[in-house]
Structure 1
Amino acid sequence: MTSPSHSKPAETMSAAVYRRFGPPEVVHVERVVKPSPRPDELLIRVRASTVSIADHRARSRRVPRGLQLLAAAGLGFVRPRHRILGMDAAGVVESVGADVTRFRPGADVLAMLGGAFGGHGEYVCVKQDAAVARKPANLTFDDAVTLVFGGMTARGFLKQARLQSGTSVLVNGASGAVGTAAVQLAKLAGAHVTAVCSGANADLVTSLGADRVIDYTTTDFAAVGQTWDVIVDCVGNAGFRRAGDLVNPGGALLLVVTDLSGLVRARRDSRRSGKTVTANVGPNPPEDLAFLVDLAESGSFRPVVDRAFDLAQIVDAHRYVDGGHKRGNVVLRVSAGADA
């Protein structure tokens, strides 16, 4: 008579989980099954992630006008498709699959997880050919993770414009995660940068390289009688109908945030105007993340952290982001050692 076999219980981890859409309170920390890497994946022990506007939209299902059905297809119609949010991660490679050659266990890395999410758990798996790069040696995990979501988004859009010395760039919503990155990247390319934000954030964006600041609470940038070579709209209120004529011939209108109309009309507006009009950030190649890492290590790109929350404070972190007034990035310290 054989003795019964006992399967080894699955390893677990702590993660911020949500099982229905709604306010910040739908998110809570619980124990879930720890992921295991496939042959082409590395397993990262997450030290830090960010709570971004993308997490807010995924959790609340509050998206720009007309995009509800499209968002539901990606996020889930009735229940969340991805129960652990977090579009980025900074951490340490715990283990690697048999086919992984780019990274070894113990390496400090950054990863753009994108629409797969997962950064708000203690561990996450990512393919080795995804947007993964070594962490800047001179930055903490808290600071380093801010390069990913905001930096990669800004980089993806700005690559579609012809930036050079003297190019005039307006960044609408310059004090957020994407905006603070766009200001810096445009300035590093030699552009003359106009930042649109509240007066309270003028010193911040000026310190990042903005040559001029327009306080949206007192002045409408569309009424100042100026045009720009490139407009980066990180707010969603500078679509082609309002801002198309403010873009110089051959310039670019980069719609980081837009509604369904802006998304559908972008290609037509681009073709008819002769200007680049796009709402597509493009791919997230690892080379872009490595580019940002090099800038940060050289001191050319500055991380912007508004505040940091521990994983146990995940509801407070979501409430803060929901307020709509964060400066730069809100960091989530997922596991011990995030400030190392």
Structure 2
Amino acid sequence: MPATTLAPKPNNLTFEAAATVPVSGLAALQALRDVGQVQAGQRVLIVGAAGGVGSFAVQIAKAFEADVTGICSSQKVEMVRHLGADHVIDYTQPDVTQPSQPYDLIVDTAAYRSFTDYLPALKPGGTYVMVGGSTSAFFRAMLLGPWLGKRQQRQVKCLTSQPNQEDLLTLKQLAETGKVNPFVDRTYPLSQVPQAIHALEQRQIKGKVAITI
């Protein structure tokens, strides 16, 4: 692994918690800051706010002083509030894509719905960023998003995160100042990796899972 993609472990995190930062934390940071260009005071919606990337995205958006709404399942509402979300919505509610006030930025880490469903929830000139979801949903957004978004005066973008030392150091600082705290729901020994994967597939996990070696 190139040295340019490595950074010291945050001093205040366990090794298990620190291990969850590079992939999910980088994706959340780059989606919000680089692709979404989040600004203080903006209204930001995080879809899949209780997941791995989503749990980082809620905290990072708050670090940028945004007004954050998280979408998650009803069992995970309190967890997302604990992460710092200003508002939390159950994803099964029919009006999640019809907010009383539109959003400046939507970061979709789950792709529960088509990206087209979220475009009316954006302000004119607002941005939708797809981070997670199925491969087919990702490529549909990548291929059709720019055209459909332009027709509605919105931007549709897809993120492929890029590992780099500078962003890892940014996440290290956010962790050490208490602005980002990885939410590790469970840890498993290496011998129980199949059980960990099963728990993830069954959507039983809040935040992240760590494997101890």
| Normalised TM-score (structure 1) | 0.58
The yes-or-no answer on 1:324 pairing with 2:199 is no
Confirm or deny: 8 A CA contact 2:98 2:121 kept in the other structure.
Answer: no
Q: Give 1:290's aligned amino acid.
A: L
The yes-or-no answer on 1:261 pairing with 2:137 is no
Q: Give 2:14's aligned amino acid.
A: T
Confirm or deny: 8 A CA contact 2:7 2:168 kept in the other structure.
Answer: yes
Confirm or deny: 8 A CA contact 2:189 2:212 kept in the other structure.
Answer: yes
Cα offset, 1:218, TM superposition: 4.0
The percent of aligned pairs where both chains have the same amino acid is 34
- Out of 184, 189, 199, the position equivalent to 1:310 is 189
Confirm or deny: 8 A CA contact 1:161 1:276 kept in the other structure.
Answer: no
- Out of 301, 313, 317, the position equivalent to 2:180 is 301
| Residue aligning to 1:139 | 13
- Label 1:313 to 1:232 Cα distance change in 2 as closer, same or farther (>3 A): same
Q: Larger helix proportion, structure 1 or 2? A: 2
Greater shift, 220-229 or 198-207, is seen at: 220-229
Cα offset, 1:263, TM superposition: 2.2
- Label 1:237 to 1:217 Cα distance change in 2 as closer, same or farther (>3 A): closer
Cα offset, 1:280, TM superposition: 2.3
Confirm or deny: 8 A CA contact 1:239 1:255 kept in the other structure.
Answer: no
- Out of 74, 77, 80, the position equivalent to 1:205 is 80
Q: Give 2:27's aligned amino acid.
A: T
Cα offset, 1:226, TM superposition: 3.5
The yes-or-no answer on 1:237 pairing with 2:112 is yes
| Residue aligning to 1:290 | 169
Q: Give 2:68's aligned amino acid.
A: V
- Label 1:206 to 1:280 Cα distance change in 2 as closer, same or farther (>3 A): same
Cα offset, 1:219, TM superposition: 4.7
- Label 1:219 to 1:211 Cα distance change in 2 as closer, same or farther (>3 A): farther
Cα offset, 1:239, TM superposition: 3.5
Runs of 4+ in 1 over 4 A off after TM superposition: none
| Residue aligning to 1:188 | 63
Mapped to 2, the partners of 1:314 and 1:220 lie a distance apart of 37
Residues 216-239 of structure 1 show CA distances to partners (whole Å, capped at 9, x for unaligned) of 234530144441111111111343
SS in 1 for 2:97: helix
SS in 2 for 1:163: coil
- Label 1:180 to 1:271 Cα distance change in 2 as closer, same or farther (>3 A): same
Mapped to 2, the partners of 1:288 and 1:212 lie a distance apart of 27
- Give 5+ residue unaligned stretches, structure 1: 1-125, 335-340
Higher-Rg structure is 1
User: When the two structures are aligned, how many residues end up with a matched partner?
Assistant: 208
| Normalised TM-score (structure 2) | 0.90
Confirm or deny: 8 A CA contact 1:240 1:269 kept in the other structure.
Answer: no
Residues 200-229 of structure 1 show CA distances to partners (whole Å, capped at 9, x for unaligned) of 211111111100111123453014444111
Mapped to 1, the partners of 2:3 and 2:11 lie a distance apart of 20
Confirm or deny: 8 A CA contact 1:156 1:284 kept in the other structure.
Answer: no
Mapped to 1, the partners of 2:49 and 2:148 lie a distance apart of 24
